[in-house]
C-alpha cells in the first residue's frame, strides 16, 4: 500500500516533469497561433483561444520555405544514407577482423570528431568551391558525411560486436554463402542499431548551420536552419514578430517530430541492444 | 600592391574583351548578354530599386542581373570566402563603409580610377570615396549614405516642460529630467557605440588617429575620455536600455506600448530611415493582426544632436560603398551595372527613398521635409570610422561593443580605455 | 555459447563475450577489412583530411585577410601558439568553457539518469507521457529550439519572467537574463541540458530494461533498500552506458556553438559571453585572423583529448585484450 502510494506519487512527478519538458514546445505552438497584437502584450496568453493560422500563411507566403525544405530533405537523405553505409562497412571491419592499423583507425575516428568545426570553414569552402560544388547538395553532403561518420562507426561497432559470429557461421554450415549468411542473419539483428545511428546522422545533418552558411552562399540554396535564422533576422529589423517567428520554428520542427514518432519504437529498442554493449 | 592588382585586373579585362570579341564574331545574337550577380547587404535597398536595376541591366546589357541579399551578421564570413574565389564571387558588391578600407587594402576590388570621372568624379561623396581608395587609386565608391539624428516625443517633452536643447550639455540634462522608472529620457543601449561615439566626436575626441603609416587607437586621449564620461553619466541617468544592447531597434520604444499606452523612451537616436517605423500604431488595413505605425507630426518630432557649444555634434556616417570584385571574370558587365547605379535615374531614386545619394548633385531628390533636412544637416558634419586597414577586424571583433558596454556599466574609464587601446592596436593595422 | 542450427528469433540474442576471438579463417582474410574501411577512410580524407591539414599548416602561419586574397603567408613557427599561451583572455575562455562543459555535462547526466530511474519506476501511462515529452524535446531542431527559448527568456514579454514575477516576493519584471555573464551562461546551460537530457534518459532507460527482474526481486527479498538497489545493482550494470554518454556530453558541450551564437545574437556579442566555439569563429570571421583561429582549434582538440583521456585509454586497453 505504501508501495502503491509511492508509485502514484512518482507517477505524478513523472507527469509534472513531462509538462515542464514539453512547455517550450507548447509555447512555440501556442505563440504561433496568436496574432502579434496579442503577443505584444506584457501579459502572456497561455491558451491560443481565438487563434488563427495567419502566422503560418505569412511565413509560407514567399515560397522560400518549400525550397529550403527540399534542400534540407535532399541533403539529409543523402548524408544519412552514405553515412550509414560507410560506417556500417567500417564497423564490420573493425569488430569482425583483426588487422594491422585497426587500433589506429579506431583512435583516429575518435579524435577526428573532437576537432572544433568552427575553424574549418575556409578550408572547407576552398575545397568545395574548387570542386565546383558550392550551393549544391553534394558539396554539403560530403562534409556532413565526413563529420558524422566517425561517431556512427563508433556506435555501430558496438552493435556489430554484439551479434555473435557463431550465428553466421552456423548459417554457413547450413549452406548459405558468407554474404547470404550475413544478409539473412546479421543484418536483421542490426536493424535497430542502424536506426539508432541513422537518427543520430539525421539530427546532425538536419540541424547543422555553420557549414551550410558558408557552403551554400546563394539564397536559392538555403537549408531550413538558414531559412529560419534569416527569417528571425529579417523580423528583428522591426520589432520581432514573435507570432510569425514561432510559426516558422514550428514549420521547421514538424518534419523532425514526425520522423521521430515514426522511428520511435525501433529507436528505443536500438538503444536497448546497442547502448549496454557500448 | 596596387600595381599588382591593377595588372591582374587589366589582364582579366583584356582577356574578357578578347573573349567578348570572339563570341561576338561567332555571331551570337546581340541581346544575349552576360549574367551577373550583385550582393546587397540587409534590406536597406528597397524592392523598387532592385527591380529597376534588374530591368535596366536587362535593357542595356541584355543579361540577367541576380541580386542576392546578405544579412549584415553573416556578410563578413561570406565576403571573406567568396570574394577571392573567381568561380563564385559576386561581380558587384555592396560593402559597409567601415569595412571598405580592409577589403580594399587586401586587394579584393577592381581599380575603378579610369571610371571615376564617368561615374560622377568629385561630385561623389568625398569621405566615402576616401575610405575606398588606396594610394590615390579608387576601388570602392560610395553607394548611399545615411546619417543619424534624434527622434523625440513632443507630447512627453512638452508635458515635462523641457525645452528643446541647443547644446549637448542641455540635451544631457533634458534627457535625465525626462527619465522615470519605466521610461528612458534618452534610450541608448550600453554597447551602442555607433550612436554613443557622437559624444566622443562632440568633445573633439577620436576612436583612432594616424601617425605616419601607423594607426593608433585613441580611447585614452583626454578629449575621448571627456566624451566617454559624459556618455557614462547620460546612460546612468537617462537610459533604461540594457547595458548589453548594441545598435538594435531603439525606435520601437518611441511608439506607444501596446499594454501601457505610453512610450518607453522620450528620445532616441537612429538612422533617418527609422521614421518609417515610428508613429501612431493602428491595425494594418490589409491584415488586422499586425500594427503599422503612421508618422504623426503632433506627437513625434526630429532634431539634430547639438554640439558642446551649440551647432551640430558630429555623428557617425552610416552607409555603404560599392565595388567590383577583382576576382570577377565579368568585369565589363560589372562596369555596365556600375554605370546604371551611378546614373541620374538611380541616384534620384535613392534620394526619393530616403537614402543619401552617392552623387551629391542629386541630393535634392531627398526632398525638403523634416527628415531630409535633418539628414542633410547631420550629414554635413558626420564622420566616418578610421580608414585603417584593420578596421573591419576591429569592428568585427566586438571590442568596441565590449568597451562601450563596460564604460556604460559604470567601469573606470581611464583604465578601460588603456586596456582596449592595447587590444585595438593589435588589430588596427591589419 | 553454441549456436542453434536454425536461424534465431529476430529478437535480441544474448550478448556474447565482448572479445570473442575471431576464427582462423577470418584472420587470414587480409584484404577484406581494408576494403570495408575504404569508403569511410575515403570520405574522412576528403571531408576532414584536407581541412585538418590546412588547419595545422595555417596555425603555423601569419594568415589574415590579405593572405586570403592571395598574398603569400609567411611561416612564423609557433608564434601563434606562443601568443595564445600568454593571452589571458584566451585562458579565461578556456577555463569558462571547461567549467561550462563539466557543469552542464554532470547536471545532464544526473537529471538524465534520474528521469530514467523514474521511467523505470512508474506505471505505463505516466511513463509514456514522460517519454513523449522527452522525445519532443529531443527532436526539436536546434535553431528552432533556440528561437523558442530566447522568446521564453525575453526581457519584457517572456513567459519565464512573467511566471517568476507572479511568485510573491520575487521581482523579475524586465529582468535581463542575457545581460550578465553568470545568468547568460545559466540560461545557455539550461537550454543545453533541456536538449541533451532525453538522449541520456533514453540510453540509460534502455540499459535499465536489460537488468533482469529476478535480480531486482532477489535483492528486494534480501531486504536491500531502493537506494541500495540503485547503488549496488543498477549503477554498476549501466556503467558502460553512462561512460559513453558522459564522454559524448563532454565532447559536445565543450564545442557548443549554435546555442551560444544565437544567445549572443539576442544579447551581447561582447567577448565576456564567449566560449571556445564562438571564440574561434569570431577570430576567423570577424577578426580575420585565420592563423590564430587555427591555432586555437588545434589547442581545443588537445584539451578535448586530455579531458576524455580516461575513456580513450580504456578503449585502447579494451582493444588489446
Q: Are residues A54 and C158 in contact, defined by beta-carbon separation less than 8 angstroms?
A: no
Domain boundary among C251, C268, C285: C268
Domain boundary among C268, C291, C311: C268
Nearest residue in chain B measured CA to CA from C155 = B242
Give the model confidence (pLDDT) of C295-314 as tens digits.
Answer: 998 988 888 888 888 777 77
Domain boundary among C268, C284, C313: C268
Does C136 reach chain A within 8 Å, measured CB to CB?
yes
Q: Is residue C308 part of a domain?
A: yes
Residue C239 has pLDDT above 90, yes or no: no
Domain residue spans of chain A: 2-52, 55-275
Residue C20 has pLDDT above 50, yes or no: no
- The class that CATH gives domain A55-275 is mainly alpha
Q: pLDDT-based confidence at C21, cuts 50/70/90?
A: very low
Choose which CATH entry (3.30.460.80, 3.40.190.10, 2.40.50.140, 3.10.450.350) describes domain B148-316+397-428: 3.40.190.10
Taking the model in full, what pTM does it have? Answer: 0.83
Identify the sign of the CA torsion B171, B174, B178, B180.
positive
Give yes or no: residues C136 and C226 share one domain: yes
Q: Is residue C33 part of a domain?
A: no
Give yes or no: residues C120 and C208 share one domain: yes
Give yes or no: residues C117 and C250 share one domain: yes
- DSSP-derived letter for residue A220 is G
Give the model confidence (pLDDT) of B98-130 as tens digits.
Answer: 888 889 989 999 999 999 999 999 899 888 998
- Selection from B227, B167, B171, B172 nearest residue B203 by Cα: B227
Q: Is residue C13 part of a domain?
A: no
Residue A202 has pLDDT above 50, yes or no: yes
Give the model confidence (pLDDT) of C40-73 as tens digits.
Answer: 999 988 888 888 899 999 999 998 888 888 888 8
Does C277 reach chain A within 8 Å, measured CB to CB?
yes
Least confident of B7-16, B359-368, C257-266: B7-16
Interface test with B, best of A238, A241, A243 (most B CBs within 10 A): A238
**Which residue has 545511428 as its cell numbers?**
A197
Q: What average pLDDT does range C136-163 have in this prediction?
A: 89
Residue B151's pLDDT is 95
- Selection from B187, B189, B193, B184 nearest residue B245 by Cα: B189
- DSSP-derived letter for residue C30 is -
Nearest residue in chain C measured CA to CA from A90 = C37
Task: Give chain B as a 3 state SS string.
Answer: CHHHHHHHHHHHHHHHHHHHHHHHHCCCCCCCCCCEEEEEECCCCCHHHHHHHHHHHHHHHCCCEEEEEECHHHHHHHHHHHCCCCCCCCCEEEEECCCHHHHHHHCCECCCHHHHCCCCHHHECHHHHHHCEECCEECCEEEEEECEEEEEEHHHHHHCCCCCCCCHHHHHHHHHHHCECCEECCECCCCCHHHHHHHHHHCCCCCEEEECCEEEECCCCHHHHHHHHHHHHHHHHHCCCCCCCCCCCHHHHCCECCCCCCECECEEEEEHHHHHHCCEEEEECCEEEEEEEECCCCCEEEECCECECECECCCECEEEEEEEECCCCCHHHHHHHHHHHCCHHHHHHHHHCCCEECEHHHHHHHCCCHHHHHHHHHHHCCECCCCCCCHHHHHHCCHHHHHHHHHHCCCCHHHHHHHHHHHHHHHHCC
Give the model confidence (pLDDT) of A205-254 as tens digits.
Answer: 998 888 898 888 887 888 999 999 888 877 766 667 888 889 999 999 88
Nearest residue in chain A measured CA to CA from C197 = A21
Q: Are residues B98 and B395 in contact, defined by beta-carbon separation less than 8 angstroms?
A: yes
CA distances, A38 to each of A250, B65, B315, C161 (Å): 19, 41, 37, 17
Q: pLDDT-based confidence at B18, cuts 50/70/90?
A: very low
Residue A2's pLDDT is 67
Give yes or no: residues C148 and C237 share one domain: yes
Does C73 reach chain B within 8 Å, measured CB to CB?
no
Residue A31 has pLDDT above 80, yes or no: yes
A-contacting residues of C 33-62, CB under 8 Å?
A: 33-34, 36-41, 43-44, 46-48, 50-52, 54-55, 58
User: In the predicted model, what is the mean pLDDT of chain B?
Assistant: 87
- Check CB contact under 8 Å for C133 and A18: yes
Q: pLDDT-based confidence at C208, cuts 50/70/90?
A: confident
Does A233 reach chain B within 8 Å, measured CB to CB?
yes
**How close A214 gets to chain B, by Cα (Å)?**
6
Which three three-digit cell numbers place residue B13? 579585362
- Selection from C57, C51, C72 nearest residue A123 by Cα: C51
Residue B378 has pLDDT above 70, yes or no: yes
Does A127 reach chain B within 8 Å, measured CB to CB?
no
Give the model confidence (pLDDT) of A105-142 as tens digits.
Answer: 888 877 877 777 777 878 888 888 888 888 899 999 99
Of C51, C139, C300, the CB nearest to A124: C51
Of C32, C283, C297, the CB nearest to A115: C297
- Check CB contact under 8 Å for A41 and B82: no
- DSSP-derived letter for residue C5 is S
Beta strands in A67-219 (DSSP E): none
Q: The domain containing residue C203 runs over which residues?
A: 99-268
C-alpha R_g of chain B: 23
- Name C63's Cβ contacts closer than 8 Å, sequence gap at least 6: C73, C289, C290, C291, C294
Q: Is residue C221 part of a domain?
A: yes
- Name C103's Cβ contacts closer than 8 Å, sequence gap at least 6: C189
Please tell me whether the interface predicted TM-score (ipTM) of this complex is above 0.95: no
Give the model confidence (pLDDT) of B240-286 as tens digits.
Answer: 998 988 877 788 889 888 777 889 999 999 988 788 889 998 887 77
Give yes or no: residues C136 and C193 share one domain: yes
Give yes or no: residues C294 and C242 share one domain: no
Residue B24's pLDDT is 36
- Check CB contact under 8 Å for A15 and C130: yes
Q: Is residue C53 part of a domain?
A: no
Give yes or no: residues C249 and C114 share one domain: yes
Report the range out of A61-65, B315-319, B336-340, B390-394 with the highest average pLDDT.
B336-340
> How many domains are contained in chain C?
2
Give, in degrees to the nearest 5, the angle at Cα B75 between B214 and C156: 105
Tell me the percentage of chain B whose pLDDT exceeds 90: 54
Task: Write out chain B residues lying below 8 Å of A239, CB-based.
Answer: 249, 252
Give yes or no: residues C163 and C251 share one domain: yes
Residue C217's domain is classified under what CATH number? 1.10.3720.10
Residue A127's pLDDT is 87
**How close A263 gets to chain C, by Cα (Å)?**
11
Q: What average pLDDT does range A67-87 have in this prediction?
A: 94
Give the model confidence (pLDDT) of B286-297 as tens digits.
Answer: 766 677 888 999
Give yes or no: residues C170 and C301 share one domain: no
B284 or B224: which leads in pLDDT: B224
Q: pLDDT-based confidence at B32, cuts 50/70/90?
A: low
- Selection from B184, B123, B75, B85 nearest residue B343 by Cα: B123
Residue B45's pLDDT is 86
Residue A117's pLDDT is 75
Identify the sign of the CA torsion C282, C284, C285, C288.
positive
Q: What average pLDDT does range B126-150 have in this prediction?
A: 91
Domain residue spans of chain B: 2-146+318-380, 148-316+397-428
Question: Superfamily assignment of B2-146+318-380 in CATH?
Answer: Periplasmic binding protein-like II (3.40.190.10)
Task: Write out chain A residues lying below 8 Å of B283, CB-based.
Answer: 37
Residue C314's pLDDT is 74
Amino acid at each position: 500500500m505504501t508501495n502503491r502510494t509511492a508509485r502514484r506519487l512518482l507517477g505524478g512527478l513523472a507527469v509534472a516533469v513531462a509538462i515542464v519538458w514539453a512547455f517550450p514546445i507548447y509555447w512555440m505552438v501556442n505563440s504561433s497561433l496568436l496574432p502579434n497584437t496579442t503577443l505584444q502584450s506584457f501579459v502572456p496568453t497561455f491558451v491560443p483561444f481565438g487563434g488563427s493560422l495567419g502566422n503560418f500563411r505569412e511565413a509560407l507566403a514567399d515560397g522560400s520555405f518549400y525550397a529550403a525544405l527540399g534542400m534540407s530533405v535532399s541533403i539529409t537523405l543523402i548524408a544519412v544514407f552514405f553515412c550509414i553505409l560507410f560506417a556500417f562497412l567500417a564497423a564490420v571491419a573493425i569488430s569482425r577482423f583483426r588487422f594491422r592499423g585497426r587500433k589506429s583507425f579506431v583512435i583516429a575516428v575518435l579524435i577526428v570528431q573532437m576537432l572544433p568545426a568552427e575553424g574549418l570553414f575556409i578550408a572547407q569552402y576552398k575545397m568545395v568551391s574548387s570542386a565546383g560544388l558550392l550551393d549544391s547538395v553534394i558539396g554539403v553532403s560530403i562534409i556532413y558525411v565526413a563529420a558524422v561518420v566517425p561517431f556512427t562507426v563508433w556506435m555501430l561497432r558496438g552493435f556489430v560486436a554484439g551479434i555473435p559470429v557463431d550465428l553466421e557461421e552456423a548459417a554457413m554450415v547450413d549452406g548459405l554463402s558468407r554474404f547470404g549468411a550475413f544478409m539473412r542473419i546479421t543484418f536483421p539483428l542490426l536493424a535497430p542499431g542502424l536506426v539508432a545511428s541513422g537518427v543520430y546522422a539525421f539530427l546532425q545533418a538536419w540541424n547543422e548551420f555553420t557549414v551550410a552558411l558558408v557552403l551554400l552562399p546563394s539564397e536559392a540554396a538555403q537549408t531550413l536552419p538558414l531559412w529560419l535564422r534569416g527569417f528571425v533576422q529579417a523580423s528583428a529589423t522591426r520589432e520581432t514578430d514573435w507570432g510569425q517567428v514561432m510559426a516558422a520554428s514550428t514549420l521547421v520542427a514538424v518534419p523532425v517530430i514526425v520522423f521521430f514518432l515514426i522511428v520511435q519504437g525501433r529507436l528505443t529498442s536500438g538503444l536497448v541492444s546497442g547502448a549496454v554493449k557500448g | 600592391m596596387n600595381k599588382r592588382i591593377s595588372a591582374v585586373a587589366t589582364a582579366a579585362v583584356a582577356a574578357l574583351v578578347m573573349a567578348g570579341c570572339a563570341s561576338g564574331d561567332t555571331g551570337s545574337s546581340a541581346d544575349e548578354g552576360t549574367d551577373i550577380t550583385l550582393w546587397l547587404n540587409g534590406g536597406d535597398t528597397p524592392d523598387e530599386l532592385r527591380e529597376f536595376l534588374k530591368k535596366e541591366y536587362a535593357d542595356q546589357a541584355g543579361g540577367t542581373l541576380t541580386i542576392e541579399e546578405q544579412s549584415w551578421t553573416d556578410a563578413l564570413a561570406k565576403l571573406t570566402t567568396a570574394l577571392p574565389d573567381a568561380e563564385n564571387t559576386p561581380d558587384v558588391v555592396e560593402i559597409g563603409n567601415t569595412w571598405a578600407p580592409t577589403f580594399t587594402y587586401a586587394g579584393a576590388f577592381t581599380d575603378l580610377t579610369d571610371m571615376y570621372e564617368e561615374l560622377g568624379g568629385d561630385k561623389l561623396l568625398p569621405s566615402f570615396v576616401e575610405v575606398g581608395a588606396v594610394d590615390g587609386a579608387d576601388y570602392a565608391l560610395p553607394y548611399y549614405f545615411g546619417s543619424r539624428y534624434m527622434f523625440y516625443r513632443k507630447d512627453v517633452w512638452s508635458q515635462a516642460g523641457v525645452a528643446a536643447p541647443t547644446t549637448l550639455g542641455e540635451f544631457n540634462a533634458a534627457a535625465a529630467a525626462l527619465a522615470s522608472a519605466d521610461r528612458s529620457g534618452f534610450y541608448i543601449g550600453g554597447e551602442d557605440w555607433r550612436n554613443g561615439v557622437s559624444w566622443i566626436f562632440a568633445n573633439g575626441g577620436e576612436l583612432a588617429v594616424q601617425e605616419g603609416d601607423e594607426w593608433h587607437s585613441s580611447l585614452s586621449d583626454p578629449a575621448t575620455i571627456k566624451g566617454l564620461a559624459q556618455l557614462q553619466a547620460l546612460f546612468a541617468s537617462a537610459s533604461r536600455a540594457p547595458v548589453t544592447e548594441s545598435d538594435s531597434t531603439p525606435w520601437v520604444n518611441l511608439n506607444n506600448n501596446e499594454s501601457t499606452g505610453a512610450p518607453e523612451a522620450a528620445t532616441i537616436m537612429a538612422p533617418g530611415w527609422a521614421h518609417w517605423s515610428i508613429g501612431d500604431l493602428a491595425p494594418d488595413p490589409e491584415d488586422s493582426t499586425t500594427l503599422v505605425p503612421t508618422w504623426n507630426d503632433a506627437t513625434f518630432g526630429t532634431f539634430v544632436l547639438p554640439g558642446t557649444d551649440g551647432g551640430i555634434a558630429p555623428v557617425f556616417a552610416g552607409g555603404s560603398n560599392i565595388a567590383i570584385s577583382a576576382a570577377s571574370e565579368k568585369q565589363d558587365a560589372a562596369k555596365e551595372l556600375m554605370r546604371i547605379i551611378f546614373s541620374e535615374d538611380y541616384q534620384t531614386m535613392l534620394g526619393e527613398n530616403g537614402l543619401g545619394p552617392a552623387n551629391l548633385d542629386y541630393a535634392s531628390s531627398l526632398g525638403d521635409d523634416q527628415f531630409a533636412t535633418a539628414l542633410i544637416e547631420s550629414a554635413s558634419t558626420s564622420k566616418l570610422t578610421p580608414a585603417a586597414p584593420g578596421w573591419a577586424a576591429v569592428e568585427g571583433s566586438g571590442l568596441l561593443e565590449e568597451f562601450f558596454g563596460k564604460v556604460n556599466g559604470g567601469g573606470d574609464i581611464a583604465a578601460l580605455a588603456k586596456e582596449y587601446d592595447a587590444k585595438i592596436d593589435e588589430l588596427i593595422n591589419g | 555459447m553454441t549456436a542453434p542450427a536454425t536461424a534465431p528469433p529476430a529478437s535480441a540474442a544474448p550478448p556474447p563475450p565482448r572479445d570473442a576471438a575471431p576464427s582462423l579463417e577470418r584472420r587470414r582474410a587480409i584484404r577484406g577489412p581494408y576494403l570495408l574501411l575504404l569508403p569511410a577512410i575515403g570520405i574522412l580524407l576528403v571531408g576532414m583530411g584536407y581541412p585538418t591539414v590546412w588547419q595545422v599548416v595555417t596555425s603555423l602561419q601569419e594568415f589574415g585577410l590579405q593572405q586570403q586574397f592571395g598574398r603569400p603567408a609567411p611561416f612564423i613557427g609557433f608564434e601563434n601558439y606562443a601568443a595564445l599561451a600568454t593571452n589571458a583572455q584566451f585562458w579565461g575562455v578556456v577555463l569558462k568553457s571547461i567549467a561550462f562543459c563539466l557543469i552542464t555535462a554532470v547536471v545532464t547526466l544526473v537529471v538524465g539518469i534520474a528521469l530514467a530511474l523514474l521511467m523505470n519506476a512508474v506505471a505505463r501511462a505516466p511513463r509514456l507521457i514522460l517519454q513523449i515529452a522527452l522525445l519532443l524535446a529531443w527532436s526539436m531542431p536546434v535553431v528552432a529550439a533556440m528561437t523558442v527559448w530566447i522568446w521564453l527568456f525575453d526581457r519584457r514579454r517572456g513567459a519565464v519572467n512573467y511566471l517568476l514575477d507572479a511568485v510573491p516576493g520575487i521581482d523579475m519584471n524586465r529582468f535581463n537574463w542575457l545581460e550578465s555573464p553568470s545568468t547568460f551562461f545559466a540560461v545557455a546551460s539550461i537550454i543545453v541540458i533541456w536538449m541533451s537530457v532525453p538522449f541520456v534518459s533514453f540510453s540509460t532507460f534502455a540499459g535499465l530494461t536489460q537488468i533482469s527482474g529476478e535480480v531486482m526481486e532477489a535483492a528486494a527479498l534480501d531486504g536491500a533498500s531502493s537506494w541500495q538497489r540503485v547503488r549496488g545493482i543498477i549503477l554498476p550494470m549501466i556503467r558502460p552506458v553512462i561512460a559513453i554518454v558522459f564522454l559524448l556530453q563532454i565532447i559536445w558541450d565543450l564545442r557548443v556553438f549554435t546555442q551560444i551564437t544565437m544567445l549572443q545574437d539576442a544579447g551581447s556579442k561582447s567577448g565576456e559571453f564567449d566560449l571556445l566555439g564562438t571564440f574561434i569563429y569570431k577570430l576567423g570571421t570577424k577578426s580575420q585572423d585565420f592563423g590564430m583561429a587555427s591555432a586555437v582549434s588545434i589547442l581545443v582538440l588537445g584539451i578535448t583529448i586530455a579531458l576524455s583521456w580516461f575513456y580513450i585509454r580504456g578503449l585502447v586497453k579494451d582493444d588489446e585484450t
